[in-house]
């Protein structure tokens, strides 16, 4: 899964059309490099990021979802917690709802069910704005697993079949670096929930803090985690560096398919 960020920090450069073209070219390059999914997000989940209205979020993601659906042979994942964005982007050709809030917003369960799309449920506590305020767990893996099981049950209650669900430990969300490393180490216990796992660690601070690297120097650390995640059975990797990660996955596949 390649990450395509469409949150505009400024409109001062080329404007909407060139931004759309640049995003499409980026998506095209990731698809050519081997991404089978492209994750499109219009709401920043960075701590302190400004709240975005549903209309503003939709105006950011809808044009790019529409263009990718028309022009590229990839599954479009929409990174959203907003019911209206789920409904409208599904209509425009999205193939997966990726919700870091695991459908906890009002109306999100019903909206996701109405689209009929598969859903990625991610673990987080609190909101992006406060999730890193002194996170504490008595039983990290048990609590993450319990949360995901509860969200799967809520999905079942609105008619979202288990077969449509992907699960995600939520690296970097309401977790210290030690929590992230420990959860990664014990990721395999989440297979008990019976659904494919998605892992998103690309360029994140768990790499930065473990290796003392700024965000621009986290590629090798990220590739080590990608290889380890595949070895631990993860089925989807959410990454910025698609070509490099695809080589890692293909190399593992070459070995695993040998006699």
CB of 75 to ligand 8Y4, least distance (A): 14
Strand, helix or coil for residue 103: coil
3-state secondary structure of 109: helix
Catalytic, 70? Answer no
**DSSP strand pairing (119-122 vs 236-237):** unpaired
In angstroms, rounded to a whole number, what is the distance separating the alpha carbons of residues 49 and 203?
A: 18
Q: Is residue 204 annotated as a catalytic residue, yes or no?
A: yes
Catalytic residue among 101, 151, 195, 238: 238
Nearer to ligand 8Y4, 17 or 131 (CB): 131
Say which of 101, 203, 204, 218 is annotated catalytic: 204
| Nearer to ligand 8Y4 (CB atom), residue 1 or residue 256 | 1
Cβ distance to ligand 8Y4 smaller for residue 12 or 149 = 149
Joined together, the tokens standing for residue 136 give 């504490």
Give yes or no for a contact between 75 and 95, defined as CB atoms under 8 angstroms apart. Answer: yes
Residues near ligand 8Y4, by CB under 6 A:
41, 45, 79, 98, 100, 120, 122, 168, 170-172, 198, 200, 203-204, 215, 238
Cα–Cα dist 252/96, whole Å: 26
Min dist. Cβ of residue 250 to ligand 8Y4 (A):
22
Alpha-carbon gap, residue 136 to 40, rounded angstroms: 31
Cβ proximity to ligand 8Y4: between 70 and 180 the closer is 180
Which residue numbers are catalytic?
A: 204, 238
């Amino acid at each position: 899964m390649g990450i395509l960020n469409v949150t505009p920090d400024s409109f001062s450069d080329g404007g909407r059309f060139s931004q759309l073209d640049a995003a499409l070219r980026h998506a095209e390059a990731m698809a050519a490099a081997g991404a089978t999914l492209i994750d499109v997000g219009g709401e920043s989940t960075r701590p302190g990021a400004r709240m975005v209205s549903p209309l503003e979020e939709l105006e950011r993601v809808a044009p790019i979802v529409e263009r990718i659906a028309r022009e590229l042979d990839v599954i479009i994942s929409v990174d959203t917690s907003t019911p209206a964005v789920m409904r409208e982007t599904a209509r425009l050709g999205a193939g997966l709802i990726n919700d870091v809030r695991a459908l906890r917003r009002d109306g999100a369960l019903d909206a996701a069910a109405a689209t009929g799309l598969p859903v990625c449920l991610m673990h987080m506590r609190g909101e992006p704005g406060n999730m890193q305020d002194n996170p504490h767990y008595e039983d990290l893996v048990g609590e993450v697993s319990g949360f995901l099981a509860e969200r799967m049950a809520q999905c079942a209650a609105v008619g979202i079949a288990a077969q449509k669900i992907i699960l995600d430990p939520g690296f970097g969300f309401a977790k210290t670096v030690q929590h992230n490393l420990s959860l990664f180490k014990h990721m395999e216990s989440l297979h008990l929930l019976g659904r494919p796992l998605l892992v998103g660690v690309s360029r994140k601070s768990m790499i930065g803090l473990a290796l003392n690297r700024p965000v621009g120097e986290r590629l090798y650390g990220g590739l080590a985690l990608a290889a380890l995640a595949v070895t631990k059975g993860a089925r989807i990797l959410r990454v910025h560096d698609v070509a490099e990660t695809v080589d890692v996955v293909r190399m593992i596949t070459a070995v695993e398919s040998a006699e």
